Amino acid sequence: MMTTEQITSLYEKHVIPTYLPRLALVRGKGTKVWDAEGKVYLDFLAGISVLNVGHSHPYVLEAIQAQAAQLVHVSNIFYNENQALLAEKLASLALGGKCFFCNSGAEANEALIKLARLWGHDAGKYGVVTMRNSFHGRTLATAAATGQEKVQKGFDPMPEGFSLADFNDLGSVESAVTEKTAAVLVEAVQGEGGVVPAEPEFFKGLRALCDEREILMLCDEVQCGMGRTGRWFGFQNYDVEPDACSLAKALGAGYPIGAIVTAPKVADVFQPGKHASTFGGTPLACAAALAVLKVIELEGLLRKTKNNGRLFVEELRKLVDKYERLVDVRGAGLMVGLVVDGEARPLVDILMEMGLITLDTAGNVVRFLPPLNVSDAELEEALEIIDEACAEWHGIAPAEEEERDEQEDTEDPQIEAVGLLEPSEPGEREGDLDIPSDDELAVATDEENMPEV
């Protein structure tokens, strides 16, 4: 296997540097990932909310392996059973209409935008109102829909037909809507915008506004969907049903798949020839997604996410009280942002060094997106690392910190009751873990072990 140095040097020569990758990761299992040198990390980013059921979940792995051996791709010129089953399943989870399948979040949002334009076409409506600090993708249309200048800078002229309103400000959306507006596109929780949840009055108000002005309410569920907030869809936290929504990221647990789910009102807007995607909804992608949905149900991950999210936020709030440069904690379910005073990147770097993978967002927010089936012990271990990392970031020496901890333990017995784990050195953690071997990962390719298809 290559070393991190060998991998990064090939990147420098041959990979277009649109990203600034940090670690070279070579293996993942559950909430844990290993780098090329064998150091283990707790992955509290989960591929930016892609691995909601964890890395290499055996059920998903088996479904992918079995389907890959049977039928990978047929094109949408032909029916495929898995696409039919997945569409039925998604529509049963919300909205009750029909689905279209593609390959990524940007593509799913692009489909929503095209659907809105087609729906409004005869009435001369084409505009889409989106929110400041939103994120909807990097294609030209979805970058134009994104409410962040940095995403658009250098690519002008941007496609027309998009206007911005302030998130959580209904009056601002009202002012942005004109007689040319076809839809409002909104995230229930802005992820890239700093983990900011919509306020209930705003979300309910948007639905009422869309009804009143006869425009579509569209939700981007790419990051906050698939159980991330403790509901299948983020909008379900508000008892509000949009007319359509987009999904991607966690839908295939890393196997690329995107989708839009519609309500009956707009389920037949797209007709043959109006939209397409060669790879959209292949038997393989849909097998992965069906397995992910099953795991979320079988492991009770919606309830678990709500409970663990609450516990995690409570514990982070205690750290906010403890460290002066921690400002706030916000989010929904296991989509959690820790707001800090200043740039979050140095803290994220310390966390990574200590074995916890997170990501900074919106400059001053550390974003936590662990797999939804993260264990109690892993949550506790992560909290211990965060505590240690915050101490280091504040320039508090370990001995000094221990003293403070002891004092606080006697002051607040609740902290003890949570039973935080002793921190382990990265090397020790690795020894404790069951690193899957290639043979183990390959076991389901053995004919005898193939699940029934």
Using the rule CB under 6 A, is 222 a contact of ligand PLP?
A: yes
Using the rule CB under 6 A, is 191 a contact of ligand PLP?
A: yes
Q: State the minimum distance, in angstroms, from the CB of residue 221 to ligand PLP.
A: 8
Structure tokens at 100: 């279209």
* 270 noted as active-site residue: no
* 220 noted as active-site residue: yes
Q: What is the rounded distance in angstroms from the CA atom of residue 425 to the CA atom of residue 62?
A: 33
CA dihedral 306, 311, 314, 316 (to 10 degrees): -100
Structure tokens at 56: 């290499």
CB 382 within 8 A of CB 42: yes
Using the rule CB under 6 A, is 187 a contact of ligand PLP?
A: yes
Choose, by CB under 6 A, the member of 35, 43, 110, 220 that binds ligand PLP. 220
Cα distances (Å, whole numbers) of residue 98 to 87, 92, 93, 263, 422: 7, 10, 12, 7, 50
**Other CB atoms within 10 Å distance of the CB of residue 122:** 7
Using the rule CB under 6 A, is 106 a contact of ligand PLP?
A: yes
Query: Which of 100, 135, 233, 270 is labelled catalytic?
Result: 135
30 pairs with which residues across the strands?
55
Using the rule CB under 6 A, is 136 a contact of ligand PLP?
A: yes
Site string for ligand PLP, 249-268 (x = CB under 6 A): --------------------
Q: State the minimum distance, in angstroms, from the CB of residue 142 to ligand PLP.
A: 7
Cα distances (Å, whole numbers) of residue 404 to 18, 246, 366, 412, 418: 43, 47, 24, 12, 17
Query: Which of 43, 220, 360, 387 is labelled catalytic?
Result: 220
Radius of gyration of the chain (CA): 23
Using the rule CB under 6 A, is 282 a contact of ligand PLP?
A: no
Q: What is the rounded distance in angstroms from the CA atom of residue 282 to the CA atom of residue 202?
A: 37
Query: Which of 29, 32, 249, 306 is labelled catalytic?
Result: 249
Q: What is the rounded distance in angstroms from the CA atom of residue 272 to the CA atom of residue 159?
A: 25
Nearer to ligand PLP, 52 or 223 (CB): 223
Nearer to ligand PLP, 181 or 223 (CB): 223
Q: State the minimum distance, in angstroms, from the CB of residue 389 to ligand PLP.
A: 24
Choose, by CB under 6 A, the member of 83, 109, 181, 364 that binds ligand PLP. 109
Using the rule CB under 6 A, is 104 a contact of ligand PLP?
A: yes
Nearer to ligand PLP, 82 or 223 (CB): 223
CB 8 within 8 A of CB 24: yes
Nearer to ligand PLP, 256 or 355 (CB): 256
Q: What is the rounded distance in angstroms from the CA atom of residue 280 to the CA atom of residue 277?
A: 5
Q: How far apart are the first and last CA of the chain?
A: 34
Site string for ligand PLP, 25-64 (x = CB under 6 A): -----------------------x----------------
Nearer to ligand PLP, 56 or 133 (CB): 133
Residue nearest to ligand PLP (CB): 105
Nearer to ligand PLP, 136 or 231 (CB): 136
* Binding segment toward ligand PLP, per CB under 6 A, in 14-22, 202-210, 219-227, 396-404: 219-227
Choose, by CB under 6 A, the member of 41, 119, 135, 202 that binds ligand PLP. 135
Using the rule CB under 6 A, is 360 a contact of ligand PLP?
A: no
Site string for ligand PLP, 390-409 (x = CB under 6 A): --------------------
Q: What is the rounded distance in angstroms from the CA atom of residue 140 to the CA atom of residue 261?
A: 22
Choose, by CB under 6 A, the member of 216, 248, 329, 390 that binds ligand PLP. 248
CB 355 within 8 A of CB 429: yes
Nearer to ligand PLP, 104 or 236 (CB): 104
Choose, by CB under 6 A, the member of 28, 105, 205, 331 that binds ligand PLP. 105
* 135 noted as active-site residue: yes
Q: State the minimum distance, in angstroms, from the CB of residue 102 to ligand PLP.
A: 10
Q: State the minimum distance, in angstroms, from the CB of residue 48 to ligand PLP.
A: 6
Binding region for ligand PLP (CB under 6 A): 48, 104-106, 109, 135-137, 187, 191-192, 220, 222-223, 248
Q: Please list the active-site residues.
A: 135, 220, 249
